[in-house]
């Protein structure tokens, strides 16, 4: 293999504090395999913050020949729904496609953890398989039997008890961070009574909220999560996945650590707000005296890109109040929104990997994301000509029916670029921004008496500006210097400016959606009300003139409209032969930033 043929995936693996720990565990052979997991709750859509967790967990798996299980953390039947299971699964698959698909852990359809014997002790275990027609993601709700069994064991060991305190009383007894809690009056029930009561809770004998199962730890602990945390609550609600079999449901802290254990997870990475929960995570696993190596929890800082709002709750509000058109609105940082916007999965991965993994809460400049997008698209996107805000230009030395074929490059970044033919005709559209009757200094574009090159065609000179009665420019009359075309005698003639264009008679009208950031401030989440800082110009819809070859554009195709930016056909509103384009991101522009422009 030559140096040139090394695939881009050969980029050095990232290093961070979690990977350093994993590497140490690999060296000491602590686990038989490195297994991570991505555990979303199916109560909303995935966003770019989740992408960080996905890249970390799948990244660790692929770098260590391991596995990363997709597991739905669905222990709250009131909030969860299959709709989200489907969208989350699709988003995860899209995000890791071609990168870590081989690490994705599913389970055989319909299976639950099997009771096995490990190290001479009874145990539960559910191994992962590759995704396929007979497999599905993991669900914490498939562990309810095993979890119930472990809860019974905790009771038998005198480490859990049934508490009859009401929600309000429970809160009062818990105390405050700076004040110790008080023991529940039910803390010293006998094991037999606890067993009986817990079984009757499960049997449905008590109404919602009447009793809970609690861990017996320490009501005076400075860590409030250790003050006899709730393990189970009563909810007479059917579960979208588990059906109506249960009326007691485990809480996150109890379910999560054991779900990790059941799947043989080695490293359980979560965000920083779970740091105080780690002691509980460890306590539950250790209290059960389990036979296999225990998973451990590691916490990292969430991704917070500037100008974005990431929490599900806030995104939901933007959707409900119709600030955006839905969960997959291209202005939203949801994975489905980013995909619809035209951002490649590889760009999302490059971005989150470049940000790194630390324990420091930070805000990442959106420019880093935009750079990653442009960097990927520069290689992936096919070049086309399009005019967003057209103004007519007449080449007076061409006859009305004359067609001059020009060769345009599709992929200038390729080592073996291909070309296509585009038609130069007497009348063309150019970008209205590319003409100025009274140009500022250093204006390289079309101006009175000036010359520019029409990209892939020839140099033209502006002779005359035609205006209507109101004084608005209606037409620019120019002379084409046909000997400056590629291959002609004067082809090497230099002019300072080159502009894009589209033939008036050979073009396609199309709706183009120009998206901009959704908020006007870098940290909308820090605002008293983020609705007040919504960018009123986050969407500008224009009817653009496109070169005809764009009629066949399909969703999933990436284009660069030269000198403008990257565009992709909208996956929802495009129809065959009539694409609607979304602007993914503009090209970097060092001209309009100049002070002369303001």
Partner RNA sequence: UGCCCGAUAGUGUAAUGGUAGCACAAACGACUCUGACUCGUUUUGUCUAGGUUCGAGUCCUAGUCGGGCAGCCA
- Tell which positions 329-388 bind RNA, by CB under 7 A: 354-365, 367-368, 370-371, 374-375, 378, 383
**DSSP assignment of 226-261:** GSS-EEEEE----BTTTBTS-SEEE-HHHHHHHHHH
Cα separation, 16 vs 10, in Å, equals 18
Residues between 68 and 87 that touch RNA (CB under 7 A): 73, 75-76, 78-79
Neighbours of 593 (CB within 10 A): 10
Query: Which position among 494, 536, 575, 576 is part of the footprint of RNA (CB under 7 A)?
Result: 494
**Residue (152 or 237) nearer to RNA, CB:** 237
Toward RNA, which CB reaches closer, 175 or 448?
A: 175
**Residue number, 226 or 574, with CB nearest to RNA:** 226
In this chain, which of 11, 15, 405, 464 binds RNA, going by CB under 7 A? 15
**Rounded to 10 degrees, what is the CA torsion of 165, 171, 177, 183?**
-10
Residue 486 as a binder of RNA (CB under 7 A): the answer is: yes
Closest CA to 143 of 118, 120, 114: 114
Cβ closest to RNA, residue 363 vs residue 521: 363
Instruction: Return the H-helix or E-strand segment holding 581.
Output: strand 581-586
Min separation Cβ 218 and RNA, Å: 12
Closest approach of RNA to the CB of residue 140, in Å? 7
Judge contact between 579 and 510, C-beta under 8 A: yes
Q: Which helix (H) or strand (E) holds 503?
A: strand 501-503
Per CB under 7 A, the segment of 102-110, 115-123, 194-202, 482-490 that binds RNA is 482-490
To RNA, the closest distance from the beta carbon of 511 in angstroms equals 22
> Which of 47, 67, 256, 545 touches RNA (CB under 7 A)?
256
| CA pair distance 201, 566, nearest whole angstrom | 58
What does the alpha-carbon distance between residue 219 and residue 209 come to, in Å, rounded to a whole number? 21
First and final C-alpha spacing in the chain:
52
User: Least distance (Å) from RNA to the CB of residue 380?
Assistant: 12
Residue 451 Cβ vs RNA, minimum distance, rounded to whole Å? 12
Q: How far is the CB of 132 from RNA (least distance, A)?
A: 26
Binders of RNA among 262-321, rule CB under 7 A?
Answer: 272-277, 301
Q: What x/- string results for residues 181 through 220 when contact with RNA is judged by CB under 7 A?
A: ---------------------------xx-xx--------
Stretch (H or E) spanning 149 = helix 144-156
Does 116 contact RNA by CB under 7 A? Answer: no
The H or E element containing residue 409 is: strand 403-409
**Alpha-helix runs per DSSP H in 415-504:** none
235 or 392: whose CB is closer to RNA? 235
Q: Which is nearer to RNA, 106 or 501 (CB)?
A: 501
Cβ contact 307:518 at 8 Å: yes
SS3 of residue 129 by DSSP: strand
- Residue 185 or 293 having the CB closest to RNA: 185
Distance of closest approach, residue 200 Cβ to RNA, in angstroms: 15
**Cβ distance to RNA smaller for residue 15 or 396:** 15
Site for RNA in 149-178 (CB under 7 A): 165-167, 170-171, 174-178
- 493 token code pair: 């003639």
Nearer to RNA, 486 or 543 (CB): 486
Angle at 139 between CA 138 and CA 143, to 5 degrees: 110
CA distance readout (Å), 197 to 200, 204, 214, 219, 235: 5, 11, 12, 22, 16
Give residues 223-252 in contact with RNA (rule: CB under 7 A): 223-225, 230, 233-234, 249, 251-252
Largest distance between two CA atoms of the chain: 101
Write down the least CB distance from residue 156 to RNA, Å: 22
Least Cβ distance, residue 237 to RNA (angstroms): 10
> What does the alpha-carbon distance between residue 522 and residue 362 come to, in Å, rounded to a whole number?
12
The CA distance from 144 to 77, in Å, is 12
Which of 242, 563, 567, 568 is the binder for RNA (CB under 7 A)? Answer: 563
Q: Which of residues 414-473 bind RNA (CB under 7 A)?
A: 442-445, 453, 455-458
Q: How far is the CB of 434 from RNA (least distance, A)?
A: 8
- Under the binding rule (CB under 7 A), the answer on residue 38 touching RNA is no
What residues have CB less than 8 Å from 334, skipping those under 6 apart?
45, 46, 47, 48, 315, 327, 328
Beta carbon nearer to RNA, 18 or 100? 18
CA angle 193, 194, 198 (to 5 degrees): 120
Q: Residue 487, Cα to own-chain centre: how many angstroms?
A: 46
Smallest gap from Cβ 1 to RNA, in A, equals: 22
Crossing angle (nearest 10°) for helices 345-355 and 82-96: 80
Residue count, binding to RNA (CB under 7 A):
92
For RNA, give the closer residue by CB, 118 or 592: 592
Q: How far is the CB of 448 from RNA (least distance, A)?
A: 15
Q: Report the nearest approach of RNA to the CB of residue 53 (Å).
A: 11
Nearer Cβ to RNA (336/364)? 364
């Amino acid at each position: 293999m030559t140096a040139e043929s090394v695939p881009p995936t050969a980029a050095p693996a990232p290093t961070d504090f979690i990977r350093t720990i994993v590497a140490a565990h690999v060296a000491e052979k602590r686990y038989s395999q490195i297994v991570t997991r991505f555990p979303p709750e199916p109560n909303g859509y995935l966003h770019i913050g989740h992408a960080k967790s996905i890249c970390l967990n799948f990244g660790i798996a692929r770098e260590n020949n391991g596995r990363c299980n997709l597991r739905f953390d669905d222990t709250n039947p009131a909030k969860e729904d299959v709709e989200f299971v489907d969208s989350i699964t699709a988003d995860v698959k899209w995000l890791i496609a071609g990168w870590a698909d081989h690490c994705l852990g599913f389970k055989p359809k319909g299976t639950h953890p099997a009771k096995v014997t490990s190290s001479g002790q009874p145990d539960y275990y559910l191994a992962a398989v590759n995704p396929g027609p007979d497999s599905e993601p993991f669900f914490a709700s498939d562990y309810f039997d095993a979890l119930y069994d472990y809860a019974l064991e905790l009771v038998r060991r005198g480490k859990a008890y049934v508490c009859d305190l009401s929600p309000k009383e429970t809160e009062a007894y818990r105390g405050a961070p700076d004040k110790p809690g008080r023991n529940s009056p039910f803390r010293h029930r006998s094991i037999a009574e606890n067993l009986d009561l817990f079984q009757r809770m499960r049997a449905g004998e008590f109404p919602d909220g009447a009793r809970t199962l609690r861990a017996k730890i320490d009501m005076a602990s400075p860590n409030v999560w250790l003050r006899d945390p709730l393990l189970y609550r009563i909810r007479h609600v059917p579960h979208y996945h588990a059906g109506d079999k249960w009326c007691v449901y485990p809480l996150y802290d109890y379910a999560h650590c054991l779900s990790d254990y059941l799947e043989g997870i080695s490293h359980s990475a979560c965000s920083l707000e779970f740091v105080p929960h780690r002691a509980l995570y460890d306590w539950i696993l250790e209290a059960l005296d389990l036979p296999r190596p225990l998973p451990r929890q590691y916490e990292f800082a969430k991704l917070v890109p500037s100008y974005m709002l990431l929490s599900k709750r806030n995104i939901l509000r933007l959707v409900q109040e119709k600030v955006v058109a839905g969960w997959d609105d291209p202005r939203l940082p949801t994975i489905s929104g980013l995909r619809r916007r035209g951002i490649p999965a590889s760009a999302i991965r490059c971005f989150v990997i470049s940000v790194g993994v630390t324990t420091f809460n930070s805000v990442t400049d959106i420019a880093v994301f935009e750079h990653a997008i442009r960097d990927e698209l520069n290689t992936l996107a096919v070049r086309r000509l399009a005019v967003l805000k057209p103004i007519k230009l007449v080449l007076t030395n061409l006859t009305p029916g004359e067609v001059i074929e020009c060769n345009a490059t599709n992929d200038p970044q390729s080592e073996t670029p291909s070309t296509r033919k585009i038609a130069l005709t007497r009348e063309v559209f150019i970008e209205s921004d590319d003409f100025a009757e009274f140009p500022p200094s250093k204006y390289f574009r079309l101006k009175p008496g000036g010359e520019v090159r029409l990209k892939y065609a020839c140099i033209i000179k502006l002779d005359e500006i035609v205006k209507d009665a109101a004084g608005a420019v209606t037409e620019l009359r120019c002379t084409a210097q046909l000997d400056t075309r590629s291959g002609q005698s004067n082809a090497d003639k230099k002019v300072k400016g080159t502009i894009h264009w589209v033939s008036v008679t050979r073009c396609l009208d199309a709706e183009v959606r120009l998206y901009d950031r959704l908020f006007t401030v870098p940290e909308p989440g820090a605002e008293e009300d983020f609705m007040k800082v919504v960018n009123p110009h986050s969407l500008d819809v224009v009817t653009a003139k496109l070169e005809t070859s764009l009629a066949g554009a399909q969703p999933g195709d990436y284009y660069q409209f030269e000198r403008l930016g990257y565009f992709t056909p909208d996956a929802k509103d495009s129809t065959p032969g009539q694409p609607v384009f979304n602007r993914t991101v503009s090209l970097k522009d060092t001209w309009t930033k100049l002070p002369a422009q303001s």
